[in-house]
Chain A
Amino acid sequence: MSTFLGMPVAHAPRGVGHLRGDEPFPAAARTALANPQLRRNLQHATTTIRGKSGRVIAELPDWQELRAAGSALKAYTMANLPRLLEQLEEKVTAAGGVVHWAADAAEANRIVTGLVRATGEQRVIKIKSMATQEIGLNEALEDAGITPVETDLAELIVQLGDDKPSHILVPAIHRNRSEIREIFLRAMPGVDPALTDDPPALAAAARRYLRETFLTTKVAVSGANFGIAETGTLTVVESEGNGRMCLTLPDTLITVMGIEKVVPTWQDLEVFLQLLPRASTGERMNPYTSMWHGVTPGDGPQNFHLVLLDNGRSAVLADEVGRQALHCIRCSACLNVCPVYERTGGHAYGSVYPGPIGAVLSPQLTGVEDNASLPYASSLCGACFDACPVKIDIPSILVHLRNQVPHPAGEKAVMAAAAYTMDRPRLYARAQRAAKFAKLVGKRGRGLPPPLNGWSAARDLPTPPAETFRDWWRGR
C-alpha cells in the first residue's frame, strides 16, 4: 500500500512535544522501581481496574466477535485513510466547521495558538486529550501568553503539580490523596486552606474551582475519540462531565485529532462504544458521550475548528507490521495488564504514551533511534495482545521494531557468533561442553561480567551438568 498523507513521510520532530524521554527505559525504570508509593499505587490501581474490566467483559457473549469487528474496521480505515479524511473534511466544512491540516506538532501548536489569539482571549479550558499532550500544546500556549486550564480532575492534578501524566486513562495514577491535597493547597487558585485529604472534599475543591472557570472562559480545546467521515461528527467520551461543559459552554471550540481517529460510518460506533468502556474503565457504558456536528446556530460553540494531526502517523502507516499501532483507541487495557508497566509506571517510558502501546507507538512516531530502548521494555509475555479490544498484536510489533533498532556493537558480535555456532552442530557440541567452564566466571555468589551482571545481581546461575543431553544420547 502506498501512503501519501503528510508527504514527505516524516517523523515527529525533536524539540517539541512529549514523545521522547530524558533517559533510556532501563535507567528510568530503576528510579521508578525504588519508589514504594508508586509501586503500591500502581499495584492497587491496575489490579482493581483489571478485575472490574474482566467482570464486565465476561458479561458479553460476543466479546471476541466485537474485537474482531473493531480490528477489521480499523484495518479498513487505515487502508482508506486519505479518502476518509477528505470526506471528514468535506462534511465538517459543510456543517460550518473549519478544518486545518497539521503535518507535525509544531504546525499544530502554531495553528491552535493562532486561533486562540484571534479570539483575543487569554485563557482556554481543556478536555483531557492525548493528542494535545503529545504535541506539548500547553507549553506552546503558555509561551504565547495564553493560560490553558485542564478540566479533567486527574489532568488538573498533573497540571497543578507541574508534573507529567503517567497513564493514558488515569494520568495521576502515581499520586495518592495526601499528595493531591498538598498540590491543591499549593497551586489551586482560591483553595480553602482547611482542605482535608478526604476524597469527596478534594473533588469538591476541584469542582468549585473548575465551575467558575467553565463559566468565564470563552475558548475550549479538546481531542477526539472518533471523527465520523460519513457525517462529520466528532465524539469525545469521558467520565466526569467536564468534557460536556467544555464542548457546550464556550464560544469557540478547537479540536485536535490524530488522523488515525477517523471512522468510516456512524454505525461503526456501535462496535467501538461497546469495546472502549469495558476495556478501559470497566464500565458497561461510557458515562458521558458527547457528539457534535459543526456549528448549530444559537446552541453551543459558534466557531468550531478541527485540526487534523499527522506528527509521524504517516510514517507509522507506511510500515506494514507497525501500522497496527494506529488502531489503538486509547483504552489503556494493555497498561493495566502489563507486568512491566505495573511495576515501573508510565514516567519510565519517557513519552506521553506509556505501557505496551507506548512501547510500539512512540518509537514509530519519533523514529526508532529516538526511542531505541522502548521496544525492549517488554518481556513479550503477551498479556497486552489478549487484553487489546482491537486485537493489536503488540508483541509482534515489538519484535519487529527490535530489528530496526541500532544494536550495540558487542551484542551484535555475540549474536552473530552464536548464530554461526548454532548452525554448525559439531562446533555447537564443542561450545556446549565449554559451557561447563562458564562456572569459573559465574560461580554461585559471584557476579557475571557486564552486560550480564544484571542477571547475577539477583539470580544464581544453574550448575552446568556433567554431560549435555546430546552426549548422554550418544552414550545410551
Chain B
Amino acid sequence: MRIALFATCLADTMFPAAAKATVRLLERLGHEVVFPEAQTCCGQMHINTGYQKEALPLVRRYVRTFEPYDVIVAPSGSCTGSIRHQHKMVANAAGDSGLAAGAEQVATRTYELSELLIDVLKVEDVGAYYPHRVTYHPTCHSLRMLRVGDRPLRLLRHVRGLDLVELPAAEQCCGFGGTFAVKNADTSTAMLADKMRHVLDTGADVCTAGDTSCLMHIGGGLSRLRTGVKTVHLAEILASTEAATV
C-alpha cells in the first residue's frame, strides 16, 4: 500500500526518530511510504491557543498537500485528532465550505499509527523485538478524541522481549496540553509530578506513547529529575528488530 506520512512539525523538527521509525516500520511491512514535502504543521497549537484565524492557512495547506493520497498516517494522536475534529470547524468558521468539505474528506483518510496498523493494515504482530520493561501512557487525544482504545497495547503485547507493565491512573492527563504547560506551568507541573510518580511506580525503563508532545513533557520531567527512565515513541518500539534496536 502507498502511504503518505504526515510527520508532524514536532517530530519533524525535534523528534525525527519517531518519524523515521514510522517509515522503517511501514517499509518493513512491505508498504511504500511517501513524504509530501509541502507539509508543515496541522495548526493544532494555533487552534487550541485561540488563534483559529491564523491556523486557517495551515489547515488549507494540510488539505491541499494530502488530498491526492488515499491513506495518510501521523505518528501522533493529538495531531490526528485535530485534523479529524478541528479542521472542518476552522474552515467553517472562516466561511469556506469548500475547504470544510475537503478537510472532512482528507480527515477520514488520516490515521494515527496504531489505527493504521490494526484497522487498515490488519496487523497486530509487526515482528518487533524490544527487550525492555515498558509502560504505556495512552495520551488524552488518542484515548478520548480518537478512541484508539487498546490498539497500541495489542501491538505492544506482540513485541518480543518486551515486558509490558500497566501504568496506574493511565487515563489521567500528563499535564502537557500544548500552551497549557506554559500558561499554567504550576498546575501542569503538579499533574506531571503525579504522572511521573505512576511511571516510576511501575519500575519500567521506558515510558511509551503515541505522541511526541506528551512524551516531550513526561520525558522532560523524568530527565530533569534524573530518574533514568526514558521516553520512547511507540513507532520506535514497533520499528525495533533483533537486527536493529533503538
Q: Which residues of A contact B (CB under 8 A)?
A: 25-26, 29-30, 33, 339-340, 343-344, 375-383, 385-386, 396, 399, 401-405, 407, 411, 415-416, 418-419, 422-423, 425, 428, 432, 435, 444, 451-455, 457-462, 464-465, 467-470, 472-473
Contacts and interface: CB of A to CB of B under 8 A. Distances in A.
Contacts, number: 186
B172 A452 contact: no
A417 to B, nearest CB: 10
Contact of A457 (B14, B41, B185, B190): B185
Contacts of B176: 379
Contacts of B45: 418
Contacts of B40: 422-423, 425, 428
Contacts of A452: 182
Given A379-B175, A422-B9, A462 B216 contact: yes
Interface in B114-147: 140-141, 143-145
Nearest to B139: A381
A418 B15 CA distance: 19
24 contacts: A26-B183, A339-B173, A339-B175, A340-B191, A343-B187, A343-B190, A376-B179, A379-B140, A381-B177, A382-B143, A382-B144, A382-B145, A401-B50, A402-B49, A403-B52, A422-B41, A435-B14, A454-B181, A454-B185, A455-B185, A459-B189, A460-B219, A462-B220, A468-B13
In terms of DSSP, what is the predominant structure of the interface of chain B? helix
Contacts of A396: 89
Given A25-B184, A376-B180, A454-B181, A459 B54 contact: no
B150 interface: no
B184 A29 contact: yes
B61 A381 contact: no
Contacts of B17: 465
A145 B187 CA distance: 41
B115 to A, nearest CB: 17
Most buried by B among A435, A455, A469: A469
Lowest 5 CB-CB distances: which A-B pairs, in order? Answer: A454-B185, A379-B177, A402-B50, A459-B220, A381-B173
A383 B57 contact: no
A457 B175 contact: no
B192 interface: yes
B235 to A, nearest CB: 12
B185 to A, nearest CB: 2
B221 A458 contact: yes
B15 A455 contact: no
A380 B140 contact: yes
Contacts of A377: 184, 187
B38 interface: yes
Contacts of A473: 23, 35, 37
Given A458-B192, A465-B17, 4 more contacts: A29-B184, A422-B58, A454-B181, A468-B16
A404 B93 CA distance: 13
Contact of B217 (A339, A407, A444, A459): A459
Nearest to B45: A418
Nearest to A30: B186
B151 interface: no
Nearest to B41: A422
A379 B144 contact: no
B223 to A, nearest CB: 4
A382 B46 contact: no
A415 B184 contact: no
Interface of B: 7, 9, 11-17, 19-20, 23, 35, 37-41, 43, 45-55, 57-58, 61, 86, 89, 140-141, 143-145, 171-173, 175-192, 216-217, 219-221, 223-224
B206 to A, nearest CB: 16
B14 A462 contact: yes
A451 B184 CA distance: 11
Contact of B11 (A29, A386, A457, A469): A469
A194 to B, nearest CB: 40
A458 B50 contact: no
Given A376-B180, A428-B40, A472 B189 contact: no
Nearest to A433: B13
Nearest to A426: B37
B177 A378 contact: yes
A376 B178 contact: no
Given A418-B46, A459-B221, A469 B16 contact: yes
Nearest to B34: A473
A376 B55 contact: no
Contacts of B51: 403, 407, 415-416, 419
A464 B186 CA distance: 25
B54 A379 contact: no
A459 B191 CA distance: 13
Most buried by B among A383, A423, A444: A423
A336 to B, nearest CB: 13
A462 B182 contact: no
Most buried by B among A340, A344, A379, A382: A379
Contacts of B175: 339, 379
Contacts of B141: 382
Contact of B181 (A29, A418, A455): A455
A425 B221 contact: no
Contacts of A416: 51, 54
Contact of A423 (B11, B61, B177): B61
A233 to B, nearest CB: 37
A470 B6 CA distance: 11
Contacts of B191: 339-340, 343, 379
Contacts of A375: 50
Contacts of A386: 144
Contacts of A415: 46, 49, 51, 54
A154 to B, nearest CB: 25
